[in-house]
């Protein structure tokens, strides 16, 4: 039997933006089918995503984060490590692990930018839900 639950992992950094991805995900997948897990930041998402996928309880795991240049580290390296880790989690477990982890080139903590990225995360959450549903249908057809 194929699981009908989904895990949604979200980073707490920039939660006012990142949480909008869950709003978009809810537009296609009912909240009662989603278990939500918070992590401190993007770097913590791959390990938890792998652990959740390995339980066999979830049709897919979605991980959402907003990785911006903090001036101290190269955010591109963090973002690349996160996306590589999420991909590896999916490949290692055989469960789709989808990323809504975005790294803008230009982000400033202005209300204008926040509004733009909040709306973008809603769309990306919706796209992740579509991907999860599509992959599930395709895999079910392959198994039949």
67 is in an annotated binding site: yes
75 is in an annotated binding site: no
42 is in an annotated binding site: yes
Tokens describing residue 110: 């202005």
Using DSSP, state whether 112 is helix, strand or coil: helix
99 is in an annotated binding site: yes
Q: Positive or negative CA dihedral for 136, 16, 37, 23?
A: negative
Exactly one of 74, 88, 118, 139 is catalytic; which is it? 74
Using DSSP, state whether 37 is helix, strand or coil: strand
13 is in an annotated binding site: yes
Tokens describing residue 21: 């991805």
44 is in an annotated binding site: yes
Q: How far apart are the first and last CA of the chain?
A: 12
Residue 40 CB contacts under 8 Å (≥ 6 apart), including other chains: 11, 12, 13
Catalytic residue at 74? yes
Cite the active site residues: 74
Annotated binding site for 5-amino-6-(D-ribitylamino)uracil: which residue ranges? 13, 42-44, 66-68, 99
Annotated binding site: which residue ranges? 13, 42-44, 66-68, 99, 113
Annotated binding site for (2S)-2-hydroxy-3-oxobutyl phosphate: which residue ranges? 113
């Amino acid at each position: 039997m194929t699981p009908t639950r989904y895990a949604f992992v979200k980073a707490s950094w920039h939660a006012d933006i990142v949480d909008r991805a869950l709003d978009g995900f809810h537009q296609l997948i009912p909240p009662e089918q989603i278990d939500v897990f918070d992590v401190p930041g993007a770097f913590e998402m791959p390990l938890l995503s792998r652990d959740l996928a390995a339980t066999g309880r979830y049709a897919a795991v979605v991980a959402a984060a907003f990785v911006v240049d903090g001036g101290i580290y190269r955010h591109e390296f963090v973002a690349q490590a996160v996306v590589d880790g999420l991909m590896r989690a999916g490949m290692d477990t055989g469960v789709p692990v989808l990323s809504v982890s975005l790294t803008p080139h230009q982000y400033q903590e202005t209300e204008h930018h926040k509004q733009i990225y909040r709306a973008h995360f809603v769309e990306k959450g919706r796209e992740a839900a579509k991907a999860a549903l599509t992959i599930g249908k395709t895999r079910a057809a392959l198994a039949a």
